[in-house]
Amino acid sequence: MAKKQLTELLRQEGLSITSPRLNVLAVLDESEGPLSVENIVERSTIQIPLSTVYRVVADLLDARIVSTFSSPDKKLLVELTRSTSGHHHHLYCQSCEKVFDIDLDTKIERLIENVIKDVSDSHGMRVYDHSFEIYGTCDRGGHHLKSGQD
């Protein structure tokens, strides 16, 4: 996305346009998959403190511009929600830390949604989202680079 589109995205969600927000969005937009907050800081074209990136991510999460999930070692992983092809889940390699997007069969998604509805109804909750992550080790045995490159 161009800077103008990122600016408009923030504006649409009622968020003020700040350099850190634009930079975090640009880094995520250029990424091929979810990034840790530390990776966002490393890839940033401006110097942004880690604490600022966490605050920006929290604001973007509240606005549903980004989604997050945790790696097995509890790193927060962040991705743009609007850049994905829709609702999807993740397969995480604990060896190389690469994240693969996975789409579940429509029947399985419906089954999960029905279970969520039953559980949420029985507990009097309104569920707005769910996530499903699978953790394992890829067949390359962790012999490729941590960045996920061959």
Show Cβ contacts of residue 55 under 8 Å, excluding neighbours closer than 6 positions: none
80 φ, ψ (degrees, to nearest 5): -70, 130
pLDDT at position 92: 86
| Residues in a beta bridge with 66 | 80
Residue with tokens 């989604």: 67
pLDDT at position 141: 58
pTM of this structure: 0.72
Q: What does the domain layout of the chain look like in residue ranges?
A: 1-84, 85-150
Does CATH number 1.10.10.10 belong to domain 1-84? Answer: yes
Name the pLDDT band for 90 (thresholds 50, 70, 90).
confident
- Answer for the pair 111, 102: CB distance below 8 angstroms, yes or no: no
pLDDT at 79 over 60: yes
Name the pLDDT band for 55 (thresholds 50, 70, 90).
very high
pLDDT at position 84: 47
- Spatial CA neighbour of 78 closest among 21, 124, 127: 21
pLDDT at 71 over 60: yes
Three-state secondary structure of 3-35: HHHHHHHHHHCCCCCCHHHHHHHHHHHHCCCCE
pLDDT at position 129: 76
Q: What is the DSSP letter of 1?
A: -
Distance of CA 88 to the CA centre of its chain: 11
Q: What percentage of the chain has pLDDT greater than the value 70?
A: 90
**Count of Cβ atoms closer than 10 Å to residue 138 Cβ:** 17
What number does CATH give the domain 85-150?
3.30.1490.190
